[in-house]
């Protein structure tokens, strides 16, 4: 009786397990396809967005990256300091744009209404340019 039960379990296992694996791999294939389609579909959607967007300037290794950024009017620009030392964003020659001191990890957000050149007034050799398309 005991051995019968054991062989039944083994038989069941042999039958169920391959069926389960077969079913699972089928599920994975079925699941993978829509995911890939969703990702592909999401990209053009983002590119087609015509509303205001957010551009990022990373401050790193004593540089504004990118040093030349062009945005559309209404867009938001965020400067993020990922450098080891403090920086700022200062319109040059002096104008309306002047951030607080940005320590590592700090950011400065602006919806620029005009094009301007800017520097880090702590390190005036750091120069960059922001162009706003009307």
To the nearest 10°, report the CA torsion of 107, 108, 110, 115.
-110
Alpha-carbon distance of 116 to 96, in angstroms, equals 10
| Residue 120 contacts Cu ion per CB under 5 A | yes
From the list 11, 114, 122, 131, which residue makes contact with Cu ion (rule: CB under 5 A)? 122
- Considering only residues 45 to 104 of the shown chain, the ones binding Cu ion according to CB under 5 A are 87
Least distance to Cu ion, CB of residue 126, Å = 5
Q: Which of 66, 123, 127, 129 binds Cu ion (CB under 5 A)?
A: 123
- Write the CB contacts of 7 (distance below 8 Å, at least 6 apart in sequence): none
Question: Between residues 26 and 103, which has the closer beta carbon with respect to Cu ion?
Answer: 103
Residues contributing to the site for Cu ion (CB under 5 A): 87, 120, 122-123
């Amino acid at each position: 009786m005991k051995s019968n039960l054991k062989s039944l379990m083994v038989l069941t296992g042999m039958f169920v397990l391959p069926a389960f694996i077969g079913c699972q791999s089928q599920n994975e294939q079925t699941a993978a396809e829509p995911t890939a389609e969703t990702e592909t579909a999401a990209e053009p959607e983002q590119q087609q967005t015509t509303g205001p967007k957010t551009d990022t300037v990373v401050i790193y290794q004593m540089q504004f990256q990118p040093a030349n950024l062009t945005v559309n009017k209404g867009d938001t620009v965020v400067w993020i300091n990922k450098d080891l030392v403090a920086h700022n964003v200062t319109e040059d020659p002096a104008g309306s744009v002047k951030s607080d001191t940005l320590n590592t990890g700090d950011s400065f957000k602006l919806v620029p209404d005009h094009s301007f050149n800017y520097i880090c007034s702590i390190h005036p050799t750091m120069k960059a340019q922001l162009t706003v398309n009307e």
